[in-house]
Amino acid sequence: MLLIRTRHLAVAALGLLLGSAGSAMAAPALRYTLAMPAPQTHYFEVEMKLEGFNKAYTDVKMPVWAPGSYLVREFAKNVEGFAATAGGNSLRTEKVSKNTWRVYHPKTKDFTVRYRVYAFELSVRTSFIDAAHGYVNGTSVFMYPADSKELASTLEVKPAQGWSQVSTSLKPAGGTFTFRSSNYDELADSPIEIGNQKLYTFTANGTPHTVAMFGDPKVDEARLTRDMQRVCEEAHQVVGQNPLDRYVFIVHNIDRGTGGLEHLFSTTLSVSRNAYSSEAGWKGFLGLVAHEYFHLWNVKRIRPVALGPFDYDNENYTRMLWVSEGGTEYFSNLIVQRAGFLTPEQYLGDLSNGINRVENTPGNKQQSAAESSFDAWIKYYRPNENSSNTGISYYDKGEVIGAVLDLMIIQETKGQKHLDDVMRYLYDQYYKKQGRGFTDEEYQDAVAKVAGRRFDDFFRRYVYGTETLPYEQALGYVGLKLAVTPAAATDVALGATISPAGGRQTVSSVVRDGSAWQGGLSVGDEILSLDGARVTDDLNKLLAGRAVGSEVKLLVTRDGQIREVTFPLLASALRRYRIEQAPNPTAEQQAVLAKWLPVKK
């Protein structure tokens, strides 16, 4: 009996030891609570419960940027009241870097962090809350344990009093307004709209889509869901594979829309609330829908290697934004046309406008599309009065590169392949098979594989260089031509933008190599007189009709001193570009054009 009892005691003791060890080795857990008890003060209140963190201290971080918007925004600047507790007792904390807080918990592995976030910037890249609604962009609100970014978590949202809706692509986790994410990237990449927004639904390619509309726009619900469905279904045709099981559009209808931002299973659109009242506004809205929706493939899944997994502490550099953003703009316009909302002629008119923007920007000859992509962090989101002289938009340049490259692939394959096939290859090869992004060289390899020949010289000259794209050659493949109309020989140009403010005429920008540039007129100069006469109107209007080479004598105020500036007027360097039908296109050219720009029946 004693032996048996001893065995029982030993087994019991072993069980206690194993249980204790199992408890000590319990997997870490993370739970967030988001509250907003006083929305009119513009604060979110965040609680993080961390369990199983068996260390002497844990660092928690706030990202410095929002993926999809390539600018360090320093979200930590909006954090207040950071504190940590365990068992009702305060824990020691200290801030160890601009976006890192250290919590000391040597005697416990379970603790709670609380902090407030001031959120009063309504954009697709930031977070916002007022008495009407709340919007959360995850990287600007939620911190994460520095060494546990891959940890799954739950989030409970507690809407302000009187609010009944929470819209997000996060999956429900049981309970009212409780959601789950598989890691921090998913939480950060799933924006949340909170309030009393209107909800519309439709199904595209077998996937349920929700449209959460804030701002009570005057919009035809049936037309909205019908046309958005058409755009989404057409977008699916490019890659031909559906990675979705749900999708959410969050739409902020405000006085002046600011664009959109893509996410893994959702997007946020900022739209002028009157955009739906005109055909031009409606097509513009559908173009925005197409752009952000197509990002669910191009960027979120088909992506350069730099764009995920993300480094939330630093810039994530890539030379491929001309593909990720400019290429998306190219495809989004094609998608709207293929869906039947633009005629081929209207599409070509829009592409002509893109060529005009690129070729009439002086910076196009100073900065390549690849350089523009790499420098997005310091240039695109930080423009100044000289930006158009020194750089080019990777959106605009990427769109026209996409068009030319697409036409060249079509020509090489006799109309059998096009840029869609490159996207399909990248999706299969890198996203599905290898679970990673592609390098610059691998993108060129993909183009070569689809086209049947390499385009290294094309990339060298037009993507990594600043040579003028071979528009005529590419358009000629489909029986089109590019008509170029130079300014009239008698047209003069000041080469400066004059902005009226408080009754003053002030120079706000100067064009590289233009009259004002060479003559010494500077940004900030206030124009007082022209040839001795007081200036009260835009100087550009006053100079209209003058002869090329005629002298301009200006009196300006600069840095509190009056100066005289004299220079000759140069001819305007602007060109007008328009895609037109070439004479006598062949039947083959017309057939390929119909494949490139099909007419919806």
CATH assignment, 197-291: 1.10.390.10
Crossing angle for the helix pair 419-426 and 394-412, nearest 10 degrees? 100
Res 275: pLDDT? 94
464-469 mean pLDDT = 98
**Alpha carbon 440 to chain centroid distance?**
20
Tokens of 600: 């919806």
Task: Return the amino acid letter for 272.
Answer: S
Q: Which one-letter DSSP state was computed for residue 123?
A: S
| pLDDT mean over 401-406 | 98
Residue corresponding to tokens 């829908």: 289
> Where does the pLDDT of residue 489 fall: very low under 50, low under 70, confident under 90, or very high at 90 and above?
low
474: part of which helix (H) or strand (E)?
Answer: helix 471-476
Burial bucket for residue 589 (CB in 10 Å: 0-12, 13-18, 19+) = middle
Q: pLDDT class for 300, splitting at 50, 70, 90?
A: very high
DSSP per-residue string spanning 82-104: EEEEETTEE--EEEEETTEEEEE
- For residues 260 and 364, the answer to whether their CB atoms sit within 8 Å is no
Tokens of residue 509, six digits: 């920008």
- Identify the pLDDT of residue 490: 64
Q: Collapse the DSSP code of 371 into the 3-class scheme (helix H, G, I; strand E, B; otherwise coil) and give the result.
A: helix
Three-state DSSP state, 333: helix
Q: Is 573 exposed, middle or buried (0-12, 13-18, 19+ CB in 10 A)?
A: middle
| Residue ranges, CATH 2.60.40.3650, the chain | 24-195
Query: What is the DSSP pairing of strand 153-158 with strand 128-129?
Result: unpaired
Question: Residue 553: what pLDDT?
Answer: 96
DSSP 120: B
pLDDT at 7 over 50: no
Q: What are the tens digits of pLDDT across the range 243-285?
A: 999 999 999 999 999 999 999 999 999 999 999 999 999 999 9
Output the pTM of the full model: 0.93
Q: Which residue has tokens 């706030």?
A: 62
Percent of the chain with pLDDT over 90: 90
Domain 24-195, CATH: 2.60.40.3650
Nearest-angstrom CA–CA distance, 539 and 497 = 9
Other C-beta atoms lying within 10 Å of the C-beta of residue 104: 15
Query: Are 473 and 493 spatial neighbours (Cβ–Cβ below 8 Å)?
Result: no
**pLDDT > 90? residue 3:** no
Domain(s) labelled CATH 1.10.390.10 in the chain stretch across 197-291, 297-483+593-601
Mean pLDDT across the chain: 94
Distance from C-alpha of 321 to C-alpha of 299, rounded to nearest angstrom: 9
Residue 64 burial by Cβ neighbours in a 10 Å radius (0-12, 13-18, 19+): buried
Task: CATH number for 492-571: choose from 2.30.42.10, 3.10.150.10, 3.30.210.10, 1.10.10.10.
Answer: 2.30.42.10
How is domain 297-483+593-601 classified at the CATH fold level? Answer: Neutral Protease; domain 2 (1.10.390)
d(CA 195, CA 237): 34
Helix 419-426 vs helix 327-338: angle between axes, to the nearest 10 degrees?
A: 120
pLDDT category of residue 19 using cuts at 50, 70 and 90: very low
The residues, ordered by sequence, that sit 6+ positions from 445 with a Cβ below 8 Å of its Cβ are none
Among 21-30, 210-219, 356-365, 489-498, the least confident range: 21-30
Distances (CA, A) of 18 to 10, 14, 25, 362: 12, 6, 10, 72
DSSP 514-536: SHHHHHT--TTPEEEEETTEE--
491 has pLDDT over 50 = yes
Q: How far is CA 110 from CA 102, 148, 178, 510, in A?
A: 15, 15, 21, 60
pLDDT tens readout for residues 542-567? 998 899 999 999 999 999 999 999 99
Q: 């491929």: which residue's tokens?
A: 320
Instruction: Write the pLDDT tens digit of every residue in 586-597.
Output: 999 998 999 899
- Interatomic CA distance for residues 28 and 149, integer angstroms: 12
Which residue in 477, 482, 483 sits closest to 585, CA to CA? 477
| Region(s) of the chain under CATH 2.30.42.10 | 492-571
Ranges assigned E (strand) in 463-559: 480-486, 492-493, 496-501, 504-510, 526-530, 533-534, 551-558
Residues 363 and 297: their CA atoms lie apart, in Å, by 30
Q: What is the mean pLDDT of residues 510-539?
A: 94
